[in-house]
Amino acid sequence: MHIVQEEIGKPKITEEKISDNQSIFRFSPLPSGFGHTLGNAMRRTLLSSVPGAGITKVRIKGVAHEYTSLPGVRDSILNVLLNLKQVSFKKHTKYPEVVTLVKKTEGDILASEFITEGDTEVLNGDYKISSITESSIVFDLEAQLEKGIGFSSAKERLQKDGENSWILLDTIFSPVTSVQYEVLPARVGDMTNLDTLQLNVLTNGSLSPADAFQFSAQILEGYFSFLQNETEEKIEEGFLTDFSSVDSLEENLDDQESYTPIEILNLSPRTLNALINGNIGSVEEVMVSSASHLESMRGFGKKAMSELTEALEANGYESTLRA
């Protein structure tokens, strides 16, 4: 770990839950440049390497190929297949499973009508796949559900298996639908050139953002552990540190209070600048400040006070501002 961590302390991770399927993770303080180093690696791993379930091939009664239509079904078969790719499944085992959907009545064909085994769940049951426009029509579909990682090409599977009785689909297994990372400024004492890494993770619900985050970190840890040779002496050991050393240094600083950079609260620039100009640079300094003292600072009014209180609560701090 970077030697500067002995000066700025151990980084802290916070999770702000936006919804059950979306969270914002903040990792701070970090040495300058490490926000992008870690953020890019985590983003790529989250999008490419987290396991999930998806439909890999489909068989529809009365349909020989995807470039056709079925009487009594509103959408073309090609559109039906595209819609099937949007159905989200949660599968607890890695073994392939054939799920079925039979619709005998006029109306919408919903994802909730899939018949699955006990270890499989349909997460977006209200998703519309297509519609039946004639009551005499029976829509009979079989789909193979598999669990995997990354992208699986229908063309590659066709060359490998020679399958011709099913319609093969290109499949994206990843349960992580979106990852955005941003590097924000962080400050510890007089050091103002530090980083805060912010990761916004959205999943389809089959895996929580926190679990996806931890899984990706474990993958990267495995590769980085392989890169270093544990049997050799450390190179330039005086410029390396580890978490145990940082913890020991923090415990020995009896007269120094803990210091959590104020930037971790993700305040607006106006509110953040008002606090810093008022010589308040940490969450701890905010917590021991009175409301009257804060409001006496230039540029810090009732709107800023409301924003600060909400930010403290969103990051797990009890707002103890004393009037």
**56: CB partners within 8 A, 6+ apart:** 96, 144, 145, 146, 152, 154, 157, 168, 169, 171
C-alpha 76/C-alpha 78 separation (Å) is 5
Give the pLDDT of residue 322. 45
Residues with pLDDT less than 50, the chain: 249, 252-256, 322-323
Asked whether the beta carbons of 212 and 50 are under 8 A apart, the reply is: yes
Give the pLDDT of residue 87. 96
Structure token pair of residue 197: 């890494």
Give the pLDDT of residue 258. 62
Q: Distance from first CA to last CA of the chain, Å, rounded? A: 42
For the stretch 138-163, pLDDT in tens is: 999 999 999 999 999 998 888 777 66
In the block, tokens 């297509």 appear at: 130
Asked whether the beta carbons of 210 and 23 are under 8 A apart, the reply is: yes
Q: What are the chain's domains?
A: 5-50+177-221+257-314 (3.30.1360.10), 52-172 (2.170.120.12)
Give the pLDDT of residue 237. 67
- pTM equals 0.72
Cis peptide preceding 96, ω within 30 of 0: no
C-alpha 285/C-alpha 308 separation (Å) is 13
For the stretch 209-265, pLDDT in tens is: 999 999 999 999 999 888 876 656 676 766 666 766 556 545 544 444 567 888 888
Q: CB atoms < 10 A from the CB of 182, how many?
A: 14
**3-class DSSP assignment, residue 309:** helix
Cis peptide preceding 185, ω within 30 of 0: no
